[in-house]
């Protein structure tokens, strides 16, 4: 059994303007010690999916299953979820400055999780906070434990957040855009830190990001999301070497090259559809260079493609066309530009 198995997750919000169907049919699983990357444009439902699992979407209508060690998180009370947050599942958010309380010392905030869950005495919690700061690379941890969040740089604050996430040695860490606001050097340090912590603690990681380069470096498996739906799910090598869905291809073609190769980027034309109504066709149809009549019938379900186990794509293209979509998409896009 997987550590976490999410089945047909659906999340919607009632607003004054109508219902927003934020997530529609999200499914994935995470094994102990594995890193799952969830990738997609802004508004694709990446963060909402994991926040809904942890009971952090007040007012949302949520259906499906999210089984953590066989127990369904979606049917738990707030009290039950509070006992799981931090102890079994920890979250690292994008902006640590807004996640850390500005009026409390970082050591107190790290120790708080241990004290709330009743694992240690106050003195032991403080000592553990110093130890964790040292483990995540904060210089002079015994001194810095008494500092306030504003006295740390952005990269150091993110390290503090990672220390907080590790305080109770959770089985799963959900990292929501943990490196977006950091420069590339600090970004690499944070990713290496997460990888080292994962190796040391055998913790599973769900990494939410829009950066395919980050996913290529650290993930074992990737889910590509678009308009609240999973478009492709595969091992990271299959997703990058043998992508099937035109949306995945479009994302890959939009990545700048660091090899010195010249040429124009190929951005995905158009805009994502509104989530204020149920989509009754492939949600990518309006932007896809390979769209045809079958795409307009209904949203395609995930189906096995290619030769690698576990490679799934929500596209009506033949399943053996992995790795071939890019050339056709490029030709079609070039033709459309000329016209």
Could you tell me if 295 and 312 are in contact, meaning their C-beta atoms sit under 8 angstroms apart?
A: no
Q: How many Cα atoms are found within 13 Å in the side-chain-facing hemisphere of 132?
A: 28
Q: What integer pLDDT is reported at residue 261 of this predicted model?
A: 56
Could you tell me if 287 and 269 are in contact, meaning their C-beta atoms sit under 8 angstroms apart?
A: yes
The encoded tokens of residue 263 equal: 């040429």
Average pLDDT over residues 39-60: 93
Q: What integer pLDDT is reported at residue 180 of this predicted model?
A: 72
Could you tell me if 88 and 174 are in contact, meaning their C-beta atoms sit under 8 angstroms apart?
A: no
Distance CA 276, CA 83 (A): 34
Distance CA 232, CA 335 (A): 26
Q: What integer pLDDT is reported at residue 331 of this predicted model?
A: 47
Residue 42 Cα distances to 39, 279, 298, angstroms: 9, 18, 24
Average pLDDT, the chain: 87
Please give the CATH topology (third level) of the domain spanning 4-222. Rossmann fold (3.40.50)
Least Cα distance to 143 among 98, 102, 197, 106 occurs for 106
Given a cut of 50, whether residue 221 has pLDDT beyond it is yes
Q: Which residue has the higher pLDDT, 154 or 339?
A: 154
pTM summary value = 0.87
Q: How many Cα atoms are found within 13 Å in the side-chain-facing hemisphere of 209?
A: 24
Q: Which stretch of 116-125, 138-147, 269-278, 297-306 has the lowest confidence by average pLDDT?
A: 116-125
Q: Which residue has the higher pLDDT, 95 or 336?
A: 95
Distance CA 164, CA 86 (A): 8
Q: What integer pLDDT is reported at residue 143 of this predicted model?
A: 95
Confidence class of residue 89 from pLDDT cuts 50, 70 and 90?
very high
Supply the DSSP string of 74-116, one letter for each residue: GG--HHHHHHHBTTTEEEE-S-HHHHS-TTS-HHHHHHHHHHH
Average pLDDT over residues 167-191: 83
Q: What integer pLDDT is reported at residue 338 of this predicted model?
A: 45
Q: Which residue has the higher pLDDT, 339 or 112?
A: 112
Q: How many Cα atoms are found within 13 Å in the side-chain-facing hemisphere of 311?
A: 22
Q: What integer pLDDT is reported at residue 145 of this predicted model?
A: 95
Q: Which stretch of 17-21, 261-265, 307-311 has the lowest confidence by average pLDDT?
A: 261-265
Could you tell me if 222 and 236 are in contact, meaning their C-beta atoms sit under 8 angstroms apart?
A: yes
Q: Which residue has the higher pLDDT, 263 or 336?
A: 263
Q: Which residue has the higher pLDDT, 74 or 165?
A: 74
Q: What integer pLDDT is reported at residue 113 of this predicted model?
A: 80
Average pLDDT over residues 15-32: 94
Confidence class of residue 186 from pLDDT cuts 50, 70 and 90?
confident
Confidence class of residue 93 from pLDDT cuts 50, 70 and 90?
confident
Q: Which residue has the higher pLDDT, 330 or 311?
A: 311
Given a cut of 70, whether residue 211 has pLDDT beyond it is yes
Confidence class of residue 332 from pLDDT cuts 50, 70 and 90?
very low
Where do the H-state alpha helices sit in 40-183? Answer: 46-53, 78-84, 96-99, 106-116, 122-135, 141-144, 154-166
Given a cut of 50, whether residue 5 has pLDDT beyond it is yes
Torsion angles phi and psi, residue 7, rounded to 5: -125, 120
Confidence class of residue 201 from pLDDT cuts 50, 70 and 90?
confident
The domain segmentation of the chain, as residue ranges, is 4-222, 227-259+274-338
The encoded tokens of residue 54 equal: 């942890």
Average pLDDT over residues 135-157: 91
Given a cut of 80, whether residue 18 has pLDDT beyond it is yes
Of all residues in the chain, what percent carry a pLDDT higher than 90?
Answer: 54
Given a cut of 60, whether residue 328 has pLDDT beyond it is no
């Amino acid at each position: 059994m997987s550590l976490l198995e999410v089945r047909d997750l659906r999340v919607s919000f009632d607003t004054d303007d109508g219902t927003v169907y934020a997530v529609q049919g999200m499914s994935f699983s995470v094994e102990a010690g594995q890193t799952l990357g969830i990738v997609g444009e802004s508004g694709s439902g990446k963060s909402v999916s994991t926040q809904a699992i942890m009971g952090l979407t007040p007012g949302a209508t949520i259906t499906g299953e999210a089984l953590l060690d066989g127990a369904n998180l979606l049917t738990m009370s707030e009290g039950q979820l509070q006992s799981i947050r931090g102890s079994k599942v920890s979250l690292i958010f994008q902006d640590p400055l807004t996640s850390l309380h500005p009026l409390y010392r970082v050591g107190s905030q790290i120790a708080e999780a241990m004290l709330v869950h009743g694992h240690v005495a106050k003195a032991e919690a403080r000592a553990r906070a110093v130890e964790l700061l040292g483990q995540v690379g904060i210089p002079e941890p015994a001194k810095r434990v008494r500092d306030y969040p504003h006295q740390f740089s952005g990269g150091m604050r993110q390290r503090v957040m990672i220390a907080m996430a590790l305080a109770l040695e959770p089985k799963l860490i959900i990292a929501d855009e943990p490196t977006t606001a950091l420069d590339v050097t600090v970004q690499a340090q944070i990713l290496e830190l997460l990888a080292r912590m994962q190796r040391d603690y055998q913790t599973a990681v769900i990494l939410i990001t829009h950066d395919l380069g980050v996913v290529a470096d650290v993930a074992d498996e990737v889910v590509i999301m678009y308009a609240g739906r999973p478009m492709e799910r595969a091992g990271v090598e299959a997703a990058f070497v043998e992508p099937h869905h035109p949306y995945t291809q479009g994302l890959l073609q939009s990545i700048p090259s660091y090899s010195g190769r010249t040429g124009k980027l190929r951005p995905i034309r158009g805009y994502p559809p509104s989530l204020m109504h149920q989509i009754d066709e492939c949600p990518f149809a309006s932007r896809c260079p390979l769209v045809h009549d079958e795409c307009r019938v209904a949203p395609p379900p995930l189906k096995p493609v290619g030769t690698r186990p576990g490679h799934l794509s929500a596209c009506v293209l033949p399943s053996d066309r992995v790795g071939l979509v890019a050339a056709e998409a490029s030709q079609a896009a070039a033709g459309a530009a000329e016209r």
